[in-house]
Amino acid sequence: MTEPGQGQGPGRAGSRAERLRNWWRPEGMWRRGLVLAVLAVLLGLLMILHARIPNAVGNLGSLLETFLPWLGLGIPLLLLCAVLRRSTTALIALVLPAFAWINLFGGQLTDKAGAGGNLTVVSHNVNADNPDPAATARDIVASGADVVALEELTGQALPSYRKGLAEAYPYHTVEGTVGLWSKRPLTDTRPVDIKMGWTRALRATVTAPDGRQFAVYVAHLPSVRVKVEAGFTANQRDGSAAALGEAIAADPVKKVMLLGDLNGTMNDRSLAPVTSQMRSAQGAAGDGFGFSWPASFPMARIDQIMMKGMDPVKAWVMPSTGSDHLPVAASVKI
């Protein structure tokens, strides 16, 4: 009878040695997982070269840039697959997309909020189908904001907003489907033509407590859709962004603020006529990405607070008010 353990030790040791040799052989760790490595490199290149993805076909470049931060989800997924596959090649290849994502968005993971703001602003797409505009108005008043911009106002809901905001905001102006409410005087109010055929943008001058004035633009750029036959339908929005950018650039007032639903993110190249001349409050003084749409599961920051000639000191996203968008807010140092 064989003693326990006899004839097993050398075999077991041999098995371990064989596994170790297989791991270090070229057909082991280096050649294993080549497909994963290729996918990791492609993911990294997609993030690094996103601006080179053409818009000529279905505005694919803008569609990618709208959801660009979400490409980072591919990194832990590929990492898990590489570990399960025991592929060193794939693990090394993952350095590229990880570096690219951190380079693009790492700064948004830190809280950049400061102190010293003397003006609070809120922008909110209240949703044309909002079931309770009076409740939304109460939520806005509770924010304590000094200046409030509302988009997607309807003729039916507008009286509710006027009534609900009247006591807190004695000054207001409405042009088409956008409006501006303020605790400070408004002057030089007028619609802004953003090439839509109807009014979805306005401009007003706000007088700060110290007497200094700044211009406020409220805009709701055309909606975009993703369609199989047409791709990312953003051409009308892009034309409106160009017109809005021209209006802001030509404004004689040096301090300018833009509040509104731009139906696009700061990463979207097609909004460059606006984003190239203004700072994002969320990007400069926010904490995280500040996604605002859709309210049920925010995936993109398409509601913006932007400015030039002013310093944002804090930016945040407010709780849901019943709209399909979340309100966005910022504290500003005039």
* Structure-derived torsion over alpha carbons of residues 41, 44, 50, 51, reported in degrees to the nearest 10: -100
Residue 209's pLDDT is 82
Residue 1's pLDDT is 47
From 76, 109, 142, give the residue that closes a domain: 109
The CATH number assigned to the domain holding 259 equals 3.60.10.10
User: For residue range 287-304, what is the model confidence (pLDDT) as tens digits?
Assistant: 999 999 999 999 999 999
319/191 same-domain check: yes
Residue 22's pLDDT is 57
> Would you say residue 228 lies in a domain?
yes
- For 55, residues 6+ apart whose C-beta sits below 8 A from its C-beta are 61, 62, 269, 270
Residue 187 tokens, joined: 């002057």
* Burial tier of 153 (Cβ tally within 10 Å: 0-12, 13-18, 19+): buried
∠52-56-57 over CA atoms, to 5°? 105
Number of domains making up the chain: 2
DSSP letter for each residue of 11-53: HHHHHHHHHHHHHHSIIIIITTTHHHHHHHHHHHHHHHTGGGS
DSSP letter for each residue of 282-324: HHHH-BS----BSTTS--B--EEEEEESSEEEEEEEPPP-SSS
The pLDDT-based confidence of 28 (bands split at 50, 70, 90) is: low
* Burial tier of 132 (Cβ tally within 10 Å: 0-12, 13-18, 19+): middle
Q: What percent of the chain has pLDDT over 70?
A: 91
Residue 57's pLDDT is 87
136/278 same-domain check: yes
Which whole number is the average pLDDT over 234-247? 97
Residue 2's pLDDT is 47
Q: What share of the chain is helix, strand, coil (3-state, %, to 5)?
A: 40, 25, 35
From 109, 136, 169, give the residue that closes a domain: 109
Contact 153, 178 (CB under 8 A): yes
Residue 27's pLDDT is 54
75/182 same-domain check: no
> Would you say residue 14 lies in a domain?
no
275/145 same-domain check: yes
Which whole number is the average pLDDT over 249-265? 97
Domain span including residue 189: 119-333
316/181 same-domain check: yes
Residue 226's pLDDT is 86
The pLDDT-based confidence of 70 (bands split at 50, 70, 90) is: very high
> Would you say residue 255 lies in a domain?
yes
> Would you say residue 18 lies in a domain?
no
186/147 same-domain check: yes
245/158 same-domain check: yes
83/38 same-domain check: yes
Residue 184 neighbours by CB distance under 10 Å: 16
From 85, 109, 133, give the residue that closes a domain: 109
Which whole number is the average pLDDT over 273-296? 97
The pLDDT-based confidence of 227 (bands split at 50, 70, 90) is: confident
Lowest mean pLDDT among 24-38, 62-76, 123-137, 256-270: 24-38
215/311 same-domain check: yes
User: For residue range 125-179, what is the model confidence (pLDDT) as tens digits?
Assistant: 999 999 999 999 999 999 999 999 999 999 999 999 999 999 999 999 999 999 9
249/169 same-domain check: yes
140/281 same-domain check: yes
Q: What percent of the chain has pLDDT over 90?
A: 83
- Pairing state between β 231-232 and 226-227: antiparallel
68/197 same-domain check: no
> Would you say residue 87 lies in a domain?
yes
